[in-house]
Structure 1
Amino acid sequence: MSWQAYVDSSLVGSGHIDKACIVSAAGDSTWASTPGFNVSADELKAIIAILNDNDKNGPAASKAYSDGLYVAGERYVATNIQERHIYGRKEKTGVCIVKTTQAILIGHYGENTQAGNATATVEALADYLVKQGY
């Protein structure tokens, strides 16, 4: 399956995610994306710093909690940062970011979606990709 098919079928096709992208774990290339959902190089750099922060109360995570997290030009309040994921909210919408061995999945959900359904969708694809070696 192509990377774009994962975005179109597994994420957006679930009905729980309305925009998504898959980027390399290094943040140097976008493998697939929903049209118009563009995460900038600076935003990816900050996301990677948070995910690579060995102490989840470290400087990158603390900055995300205090200043917010930016994805595709929008500011989100960081609500949960763990070893492999970052969750953020903006009013009734949100983002779920999950790192696999070789990729970072970024899913956005709209105001009519339960956050738990959206995060479960992105986490499930991440689990699948890890099992496949990605």
Structure 2
Amino acid sequence: MHFVMNENGFSTELEFGKLEVSSNEEFGFRPYQLLVSSLAVCSGGVLKQICEKMRTPLHSMDIEVKEVVRNPDVANRVEKVHLHFKLSGEDLSKDKLPRIMELTKKNCSMVQSVVGSIDVIETVEII
């Protein structure tokens, strides 16, 4: 990746397209939004793969970011992110959910990258 400074932040050209990053939401994605998005979407992708491997394919998944806690005294750092997964699928039972969520957290590269720095809480419900 290669980022270039512009008057409102930074931009980069990626295979999918241009990514604009700025501390001002009017001009691009804020860095913390990208961080939280990476945690949520990586976890969601891993969760989907685990369900497929367990022969429990999902019909739908919604991921809600219920809480982001930032510390204004320490560079406004992200300290906690609560992700809530809403799932529907065949043979999806409450009995399988603890194992699915354990494997999801263990195998998500983005969550594992912030272990010890950011408390990532993952909750789940069947809809």
Alignment TM-score > 0.5, same fold: no
Choose between structure 1 and 2: higher strand proportion.
2
Greater RCO (Cα-Cα under 8 Å, separation 6 or more): 1
- Higher-Rg member (1/2): 2
Choose between structure 1 and 2: higher helix proportion.
1
TM-score by length of 2: 0.30
